[in-house]
Structure 1
Amino acid sequence: MDISNFIIENMNNPRELERMFRKEPEAFKKSFLYAWEQNPDSQVLAVWHERLNFKENENIQKASLINKAFLSMGVLAILSGITTRILLYFIEQQAIAPINLIFGILPFMAAYFLYNNGTKKNIVYTVAVLFLVSGIYLNIIPFEQKDGIILAYLHLPVFLWILLGLAFTGNEYNIGSARINYLKFNGEFCILYASMAISGMLLTALTMRLFGVIGLHIEEFYFKNVVLFGVASLAVVASYLISRNLKLTKNLAPYIAKIFSPLVLTTLIVYLIAAIWVGKNPFLDRNFLILFNGILIIVLAVTIFSITESGEEGRKSISDYINFTLIVLSLIIDSVAFSAMAFRLSLYGITPNRLATLGLNILFWGNLLWIMLSYIRFLQNKARYSTIQDAVTKYLPIYGLWAAFVTLAFPLIFK
């Protein structure tokens, strides 16, 4: 078939042009120029001309931006690795808590987003001050193995993660789609970082083997200086690659979400049936209650990941019904866990761990209920899919506020 003549004959039939393009894209591109030269006044072909040549023009316009982003990534990745190594030295001297290693990674990821997104100064200053205050406060509180202090260490990363989200969304922090993009970024980041980490482990194993053959044992030096540097700097590198629209992770993430959701649902149902069968009781068994809450966090994370990576407006799929079932099961689990925590508080009294867990259960319950009600409206064709996503994104600051409260207040309240 002469594709040039086909294009000319179907100038007024956009559907046929699209079908041919999808069938033979390369041949279509090569033949299009002739058709365009023969019919320069065609509005349909003018649109196709812009469509086929847009990437080339876009790359020319963004060349300087790519260089800027690449250079900033390189500098921040190196600084992240160096800072993390310095922090490890003070941790080894038992001068600071190990949780400080997070300040060798997240602030530099935030700096990358703030610098390359053209963020307003007030947001830049807010993020910088909150990171600084968090670091100072973390090292002012006593370095002790007490429940209040340990809870502060556990909740600080959650607060800093929300703060990183502010840096990522920048001037659009109030827009729901920007927050969804941040959640998508986290899923894609985990996929890409895990892939690079596996490659790094293979390189480490090869290096250890090669040096071992010649009688040099460099394990301690290599892990403290090379591996640790790579672990920190790769976080900034992964942020750069994803922000450059890396197609691998963007194409892979939705499929992972669709695969994991039914697997998690099946595993959860089987586990709950088995737990009931053997007579496990979260009201009396403390370890089982802790595991119950761990399951809740994992299921909620998987469900949110699936929600952010799926769903075209107005279209329902089997994934939506799986997600809805997961949300309902999670709400049941959270209700049981909440009742068990309230029971243990009334029976054994208030402790930092019980109060923190109770607060977390309340937060989860509110979020799950909101998502479930939004899903019901969507499945009944009374709301758009964005309503479900809003139930996810608008709740994120509440988690950040709770994490900040536990981090700041618990070490003071429970001395």
Structure 2
Amino acid sequence: MNNINFITENMDNPRELERLFRTEPEAFKKSFSSAWEQNPDSQVLAVWQERLHFKVTENADKTTFLRRNFFFMGILAVLAGITTRLLFYFTEQEVIAPINLVFGVLPFIAIYFVFHNPSKRNVVYALASLFLISGIYMNVLPLEDKDSTIMAYLHLPIFLWVVMGLAFTGNEHAKGSARLAYLKFNGEFGILYACMAISGMALTAISMQLFKFVGTDFTEFYMSNVVVFGAAALAVVAAYLVTMDIKLAKNIAPYIARIFSPLVLATLLAYLIAVIAIGKSPFLDRDFLLVFNGVLLCVLAVTIFSITERGTDEKMNVFDYINFTLIAFALLIDAVALSAIVFRLSSYGITPNRIAVLGVNLLIFAHLLWIILAYVRFQGDKTGPLAIQDAVTKYLPVYGLWAAFVTFSFPLIF
């Protein structure tokens, strides 16, 4: 049958038009123009006219936007790579602390965020000031392996992560939806960066092997220059790809969240059973207490990742029950860890490490408690799933404040 006649005869049958379009989209598009010219008064064909041709103008604008963003991203990626390589040289010479390497990447991603999502001047000034103050302060500290300085180094990335959240959310930094988008960005960024990093490692192995075949070993040069430069530049590229709505990370992230949640729960159960069977005590074993806290942080990260990838449907599903169980176990672990930390403080005295760990555990305990209470209210049909996501997003600045306190005050206090 002639497609033009078929379209004309089925102007009042949208289902048949949709079926033909899905069966032969190219043929439909070619025939539609003639059918539309013959029936310009048809409301159904008018809708199809907009549907088929609206994207032409949209794509032209989008192409210009993508080209501009891509060009700017390329400049920032190169600058990030060069800056990181220079900072790496000074860390090798022991002129500056290795923590300074974060300033070779994060400021450039923040600049891209501001370019991609323009913010008010006060937000831009705040971002510039926070990065500048952090960089100066870190390099004023003496290059000594003191506990207070090490705590400052460890908490700086957490503080800067919250600052990056301000750059990402921009003028909407107070909105829960914007903060949730930032958490989703982190998950998708991690997935995409890991995929590209694996490809980069494969390329590195092949490149070094090929040069070995011709009797040249440039492993040290390659690792110190190409790999360091590439790792930094790749972070900016990954941030660009995620903000450009690349489908790979967005499609795979929910599945990873659903796979990892039950796996982490099973691993956590096995770990707790083994701890009880072996008789390990975090009260007396310092290293074991650190591992205990590491497990707690991993559970918190997986739980938050799973919640951010949750849909907005109103029904409680099996993955919500898994998350609920994970949080309950995490609260139990945190209670034991808090008891052990208080015991060590009363028995062995106050140190920067113990105060920092105590503070982090108290923050995490309060956050987990808020999330699990939101789940309880959700189970009782008193709230929707957005209350759970709010419990995650509204607490994020607290981590930033604590990290800032440890970073900037511990070296002075201790």
Q: TM-score, normalised by structure 2?
A: 0.93
Q: Structure 1 residues 21, 180: CA separation in 2 closer, same or farther (over 3 Å shift)?
A: farther
Q: Structure 1 residues 353, 306: CA separation in 2 closer, same or farther (over 3 Å shift)?
A: same
Are 1:413 and 2:404 an aligned pair? no
Asked if the contact 2:257/2:302 (under 8 Å) is kept, the reply is: yes
Aligned-residue offset at 1:24? 4.6
Are 1:121 and 2:121 an aligned pair? yes
Residue by residue over 1:111-150, the C-alpha shift from the partner in whole angstroms, topping out at 9 and shown as x without a partner, is 1111121221211111011001100000001111010000
Q: Which amino acid aligns with 2:13?
A: N
Are 1:384 and 2:364 an aligned pair? no
Residue equivalent to 1:217: 217
Work out the CA distance in 2 between the residues paired with 1:275 and 1:141. Answer: 40
Are 1:8 and 2:11 an aligned pair? yes
Q: Structure 1 residues 215, 124: CA separation in 2 closer, same or farther (over 3 Å shift)?
A: same
Residue by residue over 1:206-264, the C-alpha shift from the partner in whole angstroms, topping out at 9 and shown as x without a partner, is 11111111111111111111111000000011111111110111101011101110110
Work out the CA distance in 1 between the residues paired with 2:204 and 2:84. Answer: 19
Asked if the contact 2:84/2:229 (under 8 Å) is kept, the reply is: yes
Aligned-residue offset at 1:80? 0.3
Asked if the contact 2:114/2:168 (under 8 Å) is kept, the reply is: yes
RMSD over aligned CA atoms reads 2.2
Runs of at least 5 residues in structure 2 that lack an aligned partner in the other structure:
none
Asked if the contact 1:80/1:104 (under 8 Å) is kept, the reply is: yes
Alignment of 1:173-188 (within 5 A): 173-188=173-188
Asked if the contact 2:371/2:392 (under 8 Å) is kept, the reply is: yes
Q: Which amino acid aligns with 2:331?
A: L
Runs of at least 5 residues in structure 1 that lack an aligned partner in the other structure:
none
Task: State the number of aligned residues.
Answer: 410
Aligned-residue offset at 1:31? 8.1
Q: Structure 1 residues 381, 225: CA separation in 2 closer, same or farther (over 3 Å shift)?
A: same
Aligned-residue offset at 1:32? 8.5
Asked if the contact 2:312/2:386 (under 8 Å) is kept, the reply is: no
Identity among equivalent positions (%) equals 61
Are 1:403 and 2:403 an aligned pair? yes
Work out the CA distance in 2 between the residues paired with 1:25 and 1:68. Answer: 35
Asked if the contact 1:152/1:408 (under 8 Å) is kept, the reply is: yes
Aligned-residue offset at 1:8? 2.9
Q: Which amino acid aligns with 1:76?
A: L
Alignment of 1:256-267 (within 5 A): 256-267=256-267
Residue by residue over 1:259-288, the C-alpha shift from the partner in whole angstroms, topping out at 9 and shown as x without a partner, is 110110111111111111111222222222
Q: Which moved more, 1:361-370 or 1:214-223?
A: 214-223
Aligned-residue offset at 1:5? 6.8
Asked if the contact 1:313/1:386 (under 8 Å) is kept, the reply is: no
Work out the CA distance in 1 between the residues paired with 2:116 and 2:325. Answer: 40
Q: Structure 1 residues 356, 33: CA separation in 2 closer, same or farther (over 3 Å shift)?
A: same
Residue equivalent to 1:171: 171
Aligned-residue offset at 1:371? 0.6
Residue equivalent to 1:107: 107
Q: Structure 1 residues 281, 98: CA separation in 2 closer, same or farther (over 3 Å shift)?
A: same
